[in-house]
Structure 1
Amino acid sequence: MIAEVQPLIPALRRYARAMLRNRDDADDLVQDVLERALANWQGRRKAASLRSWLFAILHNLAVDRLRHRARRGIDATIESVPEARLACPPEQEHGLGQQDVLAHLAKLPNDQRAVLLLVSVEDLSYAEAAVVLDIPMGTVMSRLSRARERLRRQMRDGVRAHPTLRVVR
């Protein structure tokens, strides 16, 4: 067995390095391949090529390790990782702000809300919004201006539309 497998080790190492892109991990992988080959030597198909059998074992183990690495993330000391990757800014407040905007938007009169949504969210032109709502373009501009001002005033006043957090003392 050693005489048959030994000449294939350099090719196995090259393929393992190309797959894993890490010399030490590739050497460990080749060692695992050789251990599996030794353990299953009697069970292999004699007609199959030894080279393709070993490469199939290597490939399957490499894919498993790459999947595991992707799930687990990178191995690094805490000092070597940039601080920006260790901490991420909180996003809760952003979500609460979005909820407030939607709640304030719901408080607008229907005609103002419709114009604001069509122009600001759906990106329709004033003329297109006028056609959709069957109103003059000047009315679209007037309602849009009033809707934006009303929404701005509600947000500026700092009154939460849905008080989701409260300070308990």
Structure 2
Amino acid sequence: MDVIGLLGPLRRYARSLTRDESQAEDLVQDALVRAYERRGTFRPDGNLRGWLLSILHNTFIDDRRRHAAEARRTQHLAEQIEASAPADQEARVRLQQVQQAFLGLPDEQRAALHLVAIEGLSYQEAAATLDIPIGTLMSRLGRARAALRAFEAGHELPGAVSGKFRPNLRIVGGSRE
């Protein structure tokens, strides 16, 4: 069996079917794997070229059918999702507002809240990650949560100026000029 000598015709036919070089190579490889798995069905006096081209063609048809069935399932699922959960513009806008409020928190508060609330780290793990004492972490979390609760209650985040967040700064000693 001279399968190597038939790679040229197999590749040409695969390119003709798929119209894409990489898909054609994949198709030839899949067809050769099928041929190897079914080598017992080949008759010694049969036409090897015709047998391999037939396997390649059937592999191509099977792949097309599988992709078409997958596309139908995906379309059906998309229709079900769309029918059961229509996009709620108000919720989407609200989520964007909450995201902006979260992003408006000072860096240290946002980092602490992200590690604990989103990443699910324990207080101890989050404090170790940020290389701060656990009390400092808890303080930052408390301030971040208070700011977000105030936002939820309809108040502007402390320090917000023209939609941008400015951290509250306290002047210790000296004058305010």
TM-score range with shorter-chain normalisation?
Answer: 0.3 to 0.5
Higher relative contact order (CA 8 A, sep 6+): 1
Instruction: Provide the TM-score with structure 2 as the length reference.
Output: 0.43
Instruction: Provide the TM-score with structure 1 as the length reference.
Output: 0.45
